[in-house]
Amino acid sequence: MRLTVDEPLSYGDEEGDFYIQHVHRTKPFGRNNHFHPTYEIYYLVSGQRVHFIEDRSYSITSGDLVLVNKQVVHNSSELGPPEHERIVINFSDAFVGTEHPFHDPLLLQPFGHNALLLHLTPQEQLFVRQLLGKMIAEASEQRPGFESYLRLLLTELLLFAARHPAPAHSESAVPEQPTALHQKISEVALHINEHYDTKLALTELAKQFFMSPYYLSRSFKAVTGFTLTEYVHLTRIREAQRLLKNTDLKVIVVAERTGFENTGHFDRIFKKMTSMTPLAYRKMNLL
């Protein structure tokens, strides 16, 4: 089934209950500040990409299927020529939740880790492309009952992923990093994830990882798609959201526990990244 498109085809909202986008790009493309409360399924139709997910880089080639858990920082960048074609699906817990007639905990099993990378056989690629082609057609045509059919098709795709004998489920079989530089930057990112509540100055990080500040700054951006400061802020704000949603801690305490020196700076960064204040975010999640 041919899926190629010249213009992006999208349905839904990336942070809504269901979203699908099919795009073919010929020029360099990157995005920042990328994590969301929905699950993501990424299928690379053609080309090569590097996915930076949480604190690790993965080489992605045509026919690969990637599943990324909700609230996980991730980005996609070039690995060789920028031209590539991909299909992305985002969906919420509600879309395949307990009210779904075919709800089963197995559906979300592939998201048990931050990310799952499936290298598909030609036969499996054909099966996945057919499913995705049907989903794109349903989202585009919106015939009566299309949302129910989208749920059924998504269920079939998730069951396929859950039953796939994926080596990525095993910590001992995690794919190799694309380069030694990717490995080094992953170590830096892991350090940030584990020490987001401490002072994370560029000069100190560079010294700790035996790199010059300039080289670390430039390399981190090249590998992850984020500047070092952006990644630190992403990691801290994500944890702040969790604390605001799941605890009764005062905002000033949340700011302290996530590494911000004062509440003014915390408020500014939080609003910049979420388009709302910390208090507004807490109130929204109490509804």
260-285 pLDDT, tens per residue? Answer: 989 999 999 999 988 899 999 998 88
Compute the mean pLDDT over every residue in the chain, rounded to the nearest whole number. 86
Q: Is the pLDDT of residue 83 over 60?
A: yes
pLDDT at 285: 82
pLDDT at 102: 75
pTM over the 0.85 mark: no
- Percent of the chain beyond pLDDT 70? 89
Domains located in the chain, CATH noted: 9-173 (2.60.120.810), 180-286 (1.10.10.60)
pLDDT at 2: 39
**What is d(CA 215, CA 185) in angstroms, rounded to the nearest whole number?**
11
pLDDT at 28: 74
**Confidence at 119, pLDDT banded by 50, 70, 90:** very high
Mean pLDDT of 65-88: 86
Contacts (Cβ under 8 Å, ≥6 apart) of 179: none
Q: What is the dihedral of CA 83, 87, 88, 94, to 10 degrees?
A: 180
pLDDT at 212: 96
pLDDT digits (tens, 9 = 90+) for 152-206: 999 999 999 999 886 544 333 445 567 788 889 999 999 999 999 999 999 999 9
**What is d(CA 113, CA 217) in angstroms, rounded to the nearest whole number?**
28
Q: Is the pLDDT of residue 8 over 60?
A: no
- Percent of the chain beyond pLDDT 90? 57
